[in-house]
Structure 1
């Protein structure tokens, strides 16, 4: 019974963070909710084995990343198209390019988006990303480079001048 209480407390405390992580991986709220629910179901089944470990959230995040990979491997040729909700809040980019950045991120191939999310949102190194995604470190670096090139092309940066230098 105590394990059930601890699991419920974990979900109440970290459920929203896991949902945001799912959104970063999947690029849309529906798939993010599915990833989160599936990961929490798997975590619940493993909870008795994990309750003494420091971070059940890392188990859930790794599970979400693996579920996401399994999904895009099955749907490689499918192209998802959707619009972002109008009432979202994101950190501001210089020049008001937030919407274009989110659209550009959503337009990346699934593997490239997953690499960027794991690198910049989860702050994993190349070896950790390779282990989570089941790919080589070289593939991680090449996917990240391609993704960043696509983002740079979609959102050109302003040249540094005295007026906008920080």
Structure 2
């Protein structure tokens, strides 16, 4: 038995459901999510990487899931453009039942770009900080904030919900403004 096998077994036993849930949120399909998780596990443990703990291995797998999801979205977009140029028809997709996730949210997430979806899932589903999300995706903190804001705005439009109203914001004092003046 290789040195990494017990760590892989423990990771799958303890964290498979959480990793699979993340993959479903990114792909929108249970079957695609299972394939994505499998690819991420193979990439992680097939790269001869050494991990000191399950947590370290899990972090690597989480990043591999997001990276492979973005790569797959790019590939699908390229394939669609090629099919459109050739005048062919895209093959029909089969919808499989999702386990324990809101169908509307998963469907709405599919309307986002791959990076928007990754940022929204990492920030609001995985509850990572901006810095953690930036490190996971290899982006700047500003890019994470922008992709997240754009993604949330698009989700609100698709789901028919609204974000915070202007009236809900706290007034901010403007430096150099006369006393008593504030900007919302």
Q: Determine if contact 2:119/2:148 at 8 Å carries over to the other structure.
A: yes
Which residue does the alignment assign to 2:62?
A: 61
CA distance in structure 2 between the aligned counterparts of 1:38 and 1:126, rounded to whole angstroms:
26
1:141-160 → structure 2 map (5 Å cutoff): 141-157=145-161
Deviation track 1:10-40 (CA, whole Å, cap 9, x = no partner) reads 3223223222211112222232122211111
Segments of structure 2 that go 5 or more residues without pairing to the other structure are 81-89, 163-184
Distance in 2 between the 1:112 and 1:121 partners? 13
The aligned counterpart of 1:162 is none
Q: What are the equivalent positions in structure 2 for 1:99-110 lying under 5 Å apart? A: 99-110=103-114
TM-score (norm 2): 0.65
**1:132 has 2:132 as partner:** no
- How do 1:1-166 residues align onto structure 2 when only pairs under 5 Å count? 1=1, 3=3, 4-45=5-46, 49-52=50-53, 54-77=55-78, 85-86=96-97, 88-90=99-101, 98-157=102-161
Q: 1:83 & 1:137 partners in 2: Cα distance?
A: 37
Q: Residue 132 of structure 1: CA displacement?
A: 2.5
SS of the equivalent of 2:139 reads coil
Deviations 1:98-125 (A, max 9, x none): 5433322222222211110111122222
RMSD value over aligned CA atoms?
A: 3.0
**Is contact 1:66-1:133 (8 Å) kept?**
yes
Distance in 2, Cα, partners of 1:9 & 1:69: 27
* Higher-helix-fraction structure: 1
- Residues 40-72 of structure 1: CA deviation (Å, up to 9, x unaligned): 112323577114574321111112112222223
Structure 1: gaps spanning 5 or more residues? 91-97, 159-166
1:62-106 CA-to-partner distances (Å, cap 9, x unmatched) read: 12112222223334456698575456433xxxxxxx543332222
